[in-house]
Chains A and B, each alone.
Chain A
Amino acid sequence: MTVHNLQITASAPDPALLDLPWDIPLVDWPEETLAALPRGISRHIVRFVRLSGRVIAIKEIGESVAYREYELLRQLRRLEVPSVVPVGVITGRKAPDGEPLEAVLVTEHLQFSLPYRALYSQALRPDTAARLIDALAVLLVRLHLVGFYWGDVSLSNTLFRRDAETFAAYLVDAETGDLHRQLSPGQRAYDVDLARTNIIGELMDLAAGELLDEDVDEVSIGDALVARYEELWETLTESESFESNERWRVAARIERLNELGFDVGELAITTDIDGTSVQIQPKVVDAGHHSRRLLRLTGLDVQENQARRLLNDLDSFRAATDRQNDDEEFVAHDWLRGVFEATIRAVPRDLRRKLEPAQLFHEILDHRWFVSERAGRDVPMAEATRSYVDDVLRHRPDEKSVLGLAPGEKDPELDA
């Protein structure tokens, strides 16, 4: 292998990276090296590889663009926007005959992520489309809030992870992006319009491949993204005026944003000269209100809606154990040990890895509600867990890394 010119740019390079067959074009990598996970559609060659107990994604791409995307992904990570984690850039690849090979960008495969093609064709509940769109709208708003112009918003460039009964969206392709101090209305409008076109195109493609429920209307889903985005953007950024004797509206606005999962980092309050009216406008909003609160209380790092669900359970635990006057941290600690971890541990180890722990817990809570209603009594957690494991989890696909493509879908790229 000709490795002498290989250059690896990474913050913490894994020496095992060097053992990969960099002298072979990515298209020709031997099957035994690859992890056959589903992908979105792309123009570059992308492959997954198992390495040191994890999975990495490798994308062949021009050198300067590779470095640019790597840098952007690092910045997005620093800004705490959900995106794939960059591992590094490898350049100086050469085939044995000396022919130079393209640079690669390496990212960590996002565990438990579900490309939309897998989601649609698994015939999930009919409102899946709407929930994906909701998740993508939240991601796009978050990106725009930090000044990121995406330039190529699409379902393929987004990864989805289950987040309680909804989805959380992650950015996967930053190639066409740009970070600005603040986006102009034109930049936001362009991104949203492109998102609409791309989403409709991607759904039309699924329809052409007979992978989409006939009842799904592609155009209305695209339109839904635009509507959802605009609604969210307004709520997060619009300024609101009221009489100065309606001060409660400040608190109400903050609560409304919390409900949507955002914290208000900075709120501009201006009064007019005679002090009769007040204007407020959120200046800095941070997503992840519930997940931050749960992290602070329990150390659990989970997604927003999972956190919401877990916090609700924590609240009911507190009420049930009559500890409203105890320090919240202590109660949270006891709940974590006695309820959350106990429940997860009660799931057999080999089945536990099928879903993220927080998602597992969320589903068990759902299941408990379901079996309690059927039984007409309050089924205890331990019993609900047993029933969930036997009746549900055993029959679920493994989502840590969804293997293979959806039933009926051939990998259109691999056999090209």
Chain B
Amino acid sequence: MATVTYDHASRLYPGTERPAVDQLNLHIEDGEFLVLVGPSGCGKSTSLRMLAGLEDVNGGSIYIGDRDVTDVQPKDRDIAMVFQNYALYPHMSVADNMGFALKIAGKPKAEIRQRVEEAAKILDLTEYLDRKPKALSGGQRQRVAMGRAIVRQPQVFLMDEPLSNLDAKLRVQTRTQIASLQRRLGVTTVYVTHDQTEALTMGDRIAVLKDGLLQQVGTPRDMYDTPANVFVAGFIGSPAMNLGTFTVTGGVAEIGPARLPLERDVASRITEADNGRVTVGFRPESLDIVTQADESAFPVEVNLVEELGSDAFVYGTLKGDLAAQAEVHSGAGDDQVIVRVDPRSVPAKGERIYVTIRPGHSHVFSSASGERIS
């Protein structure tokens, strides 16, 4: 087992202007489950392929443990790409299906059997080892494929959107299985997905990429509680965080008729470039419905209510004097605010509700750079 280190690693595709991965610095601990996440085209797969040896590294280096693998052939890196190939061989037993790569590598029979048995135990396949694959269910077949990677005892597992081909139900199931399996095996794993929910539920830590640049690395909690910039704030969480740019007067951000006092040190971090404005983020679940009388209340006109059983969300428009100047957007689009409300008392469409941001639950970013200042 081993750590993985990207040290200023860059990939510039021939014929393109900008690096697809730009000076990536990332250290992954031994046994850690790290998820690379970001929108399509941000450089996740390229980063993973650089580690796999499938993509040339044009600058910087990549290490597995202390070993510089930047120029090492893929098959000599001691990594396993999982799920790439799991057509099972119908005439071979489940044990042989799992162990055939070891046989090719010339490992002694006894050792193969031992490694296969260990993997089967972890995968709950022990009683099937001497059967043929046709006796297995779909999920078990998939575990045999996992077993193929496990018996090779690689230093690192790599997975690139391994669930993209599954239907929604199986995806959620397999997600949990992979995560718990990885924890039991303790093999360092790098996992690529564009789906932030998948990232939040699976990763020990998450690395968010955008345009080839690493935005933030941290635990799911870190990403949720203290997003480093506006991009991460809007990307992590579902429904997405509401983000608005507001005028600051005397240390107070004005949101519609409401006044949101900024902490002193936040106010002091506003620069000239910000032009007297800050970007304030607040999650749909960080809003409380209050009355108009509340000092910090701002009005939202209800456009639509989405009821999801245990949750309900209001999609609305920010109202009030200063609302027109504020640039607001959310997961629902520009000028929209999303508010989580009690599913047992949902407001009607067209109604005006008053909401306030729960104290300590606002995120303040520089309006110029997008960096977190609170």
CB contacts between A and B, total, < 8 Å: 96
Q: Which of B84-92, B108-116, B208-216 contacts A (4 or more CB under 8 A)?
A: B84-92
* CB-based contact A202/B89 at 8 Å: yes
* CB-based contact B90/A198 at 8 Å: no
Q: How far is the CB of A75 from chain B (nearest CB, A)?
A: 17
* A193-206 to B contact mask, C-beta < 8 Å, 1/0: 11001101110111
Q: Which of A254-262, A279-287, A299-307, A408-416 contacts B (4 or more CB under 8 A)?
A: A408-416
Which of B13, B92, B103, B134 contacts A181, CB < 8 Å? B13
Q: How far is the CB of B90 from chain A (nearest CB, A)?
A: 3
Q: How far is the CB of B169 from chain A (nearest CB, A)?
A: 11
Which of A42, A154, A182, A189 contacts B74, CB < 8 Å? A189
Interface majority SS (helix, strand, loop, mixed), chain B: loop
Q: How far is the CA of A152 from the CA of B52 in the complex (A)?
A: 15
Which of B55, B87, B165, B167 contacts A156, CB < 8 Å? B87
* CB-based contact A189/B73 at 8 Å: yes
* CB-based contact B54/A219 at 8 Å: no
* B35-73 to A contact mask, C-beta < 8 Å, 1/0: 000000000000000001111100000000000000001
| Residues in B neighbouring A205, C-beta threshold 8 A | 89-92
* CB-based contact B13/A413 at 8 Å: no
* CB-based contact A197/B104 at 8 Å: yes
* A207-229 to B contact mask, C-beta < 8 Å, 1/0: 01101000000010010000000
Q: Among the interface residues A154, A181, A412, A413, which one has the most CB atoms of the partner chain B within 10 A? A: A412
Q: For the complex, is B201 an interface residue (Cβ under 8 Å from A)?
A: no
Q: For the complex, is A43 an interface residue (Cβ under 8 Å from B)?
A: yes
* CB-based contact B55/A197 at 8 Å: no
Which of A189, A193, A208, A412 contacts B96, CB < 8 Å? A208
* CB-based contact A41/B90 at 8 Å: yes
| Residues in A neighbouring B103, C-beta threshold 8 A | 204
Q: How far is the CB of B255 from chain A (nearest CB, A)?
A: 39
Q: How far is the CB of B119 from chain A (nearest CB, A)?
A: 17
* CB-based contact B15/A209 at 8 Å: no
Which of B73, B84, B87, B101 contacts A41, CB < 8 Å? B87
Q: How far is the CA of A198 from the CA of B87 in the complex (A)?
A: 10
Q: For the complex, is B264 an interface residue (Cβ under 8 Å from A)?
A: no
* CB-based contact A189/B75 at 8 Å: yes
* CB-based contact A197/B101 at 8 Å: yes
Show the binding face of B for A, using Cβ within 8 Å: 13-15, 52-56, 73-75, 84-93, 96, 100-101, 103-104, 132, 134, 141, 164-167
Given A151-B84, A189-B73, 15 further pairs, Cβ under 8 A: A41-B87, A41-B90, A43-B87, A62-B164, A149-B54, A176-B84, A187-B55, A189-B74, A193-B75, A194-B85, A200-B100, A204-B103, A208-B93, A222-B104, A412-B132
Show the binding face of A for B, using Cβ within 8 Å: 41-43, 61-62, 64-65, 102, 149, 151-152, 154, 156, 176, 180-182, 184-187, 189-190, 193-194, 197-198, 200-202, 204-206, 208-209, 211, 219, 222, 412-413, 415-416
**A-B pairs with beta carbons under 8 Å apart, 12 shown:** A41-B88, A41-B89, A43-B86, A176-B84, A180-B13, A186-B55, A190-B74, A194-B85, A201-B100, A204-B89, A205-B91, A208-B93
